[in-house]
Amino acid sequence: MRITGIAGCARRWPGMAAIVGGLALAAGSCGAAEGLNGMSDAAAAAQINRAGSFPEQVPSWEGRALPADVAPSASAGDSAAPEDTHWRLRLGLDMPLRTEEGGAKGAGFQGSPAVSPTLQADIRYNPYSAWFIGVTFYRYLMGDRQRPWNPDFTYVFGYDDWHPGTFSLVYGNYTGNRLNPDRSHLIEGQREEFTHFRQGQLSLGYKLVIPQTVKSWLVLRERDDVGCSTNFNYTPRYTDLKTSKLRSGKRSVSLSCRYTTPENWYVNGTFLYYPDRSQQQPWDPDFTYGFGYFDWHPGTVTVQYNNYSGNRYPWHAGSPGQGNFRYGSISISWSMAW
């Protein structure tokens, strides 16, 4: 399968060239990046796990960008990696199991995941320690299915240390960002913009320390591992579907856990609570889940299923067109690091 690279996307979308150029300038100011060659397996694994590992799938709901939901935890015996400056690249194909337009739900520039297969190019830069910045670009293979809330690009930055007992602070914007916005185009009173920064989400997280005695009850085999984190998520401005107006201060609290095996298989889930349920939109899930195969080595292929649709707990009323297995997607991706 041939996937268009960053340079080709930049020629097609001029706005992308500016973003990638800015990231490259930042890298130059911090010194040349070192590769992963020469590290021990444990050190390289720890390095890959810093600041959000591949695969990172980008859902289109407000509770995304939860570090434990996108990064496998390192093995208990892994040592810390050297403080390298490095880049990472992921090229992927994401295929929703259901592409009918009835599965698309949103308002303004916020809404449900795309119902079109997408090619994705994700580039991420670690300037120092657990600090990072990342940008993902999307190419919709069914262009007529891209809705105002389905982005041309998304971005995320912050601090995320994978070690248990540490805090993270991450900002992510997965709204309808446009590389070439038509500012004369109004969507429910909002102008199309390069990005709607205040509609992004800020997440303050803590990676739980699970005692070995407790972990031994949670794992099926001695070499398996499990990690969990909690997050407080805050969105300064969000679109309310009932009124089609922007509201302020959406809040949620989440618990994310991930189970991994030495053979690189994993399963993860995130459970959310909204203190004010009137803020929860049909596309905002009560829970998300995923599973698949993930190998952290550069040059390897990852295959996974993720469901970020408007899933509901049994005691909550369901959201039409949301929240069953077919509203998830299967993704295949390849990564490299330098």
Question: What pLDDT is recorded for position 115?
Answer: 85
Span 47-57, average pLDDT: 36
Per-residue pLDDT at 335 exceeds 90: yes
Q: How confident is the model at residue 102 (pLDDT cuts 50, 70, 90)?
A: low
Q: Rounded CA gap, 273 and 121, in Å?
A: 32
Contacting residues for 26 by C-beta, under 8 A, at least 6 apart:
125, 127, 133
Percent of the chain with pLDDT over 70: 73
Per-residue pLDDT at 42 exceeds 70: no
Element (H, E) at 83: none
Question: What pLDDT is recorded for position 237?
Answer: 93
Lowest mean pLDDT among 42-46, 265-269, 298-302, 322-326: 42-46
Question: What pLDDT is recorded for position 245?
Answer: 86
Q: Rounded CA gap, 162 and 183, in Å?
A: 40
Span 257-283, average pLDDT: 95
- The domain limits of the chain are 6-337
Contacting residues for 49 by C-beta, under 8 A, at least 6 apart:
71, 72, 73, 74, 162, 296
Question: What pLDDT is recorded for position 84?
Answer: 54
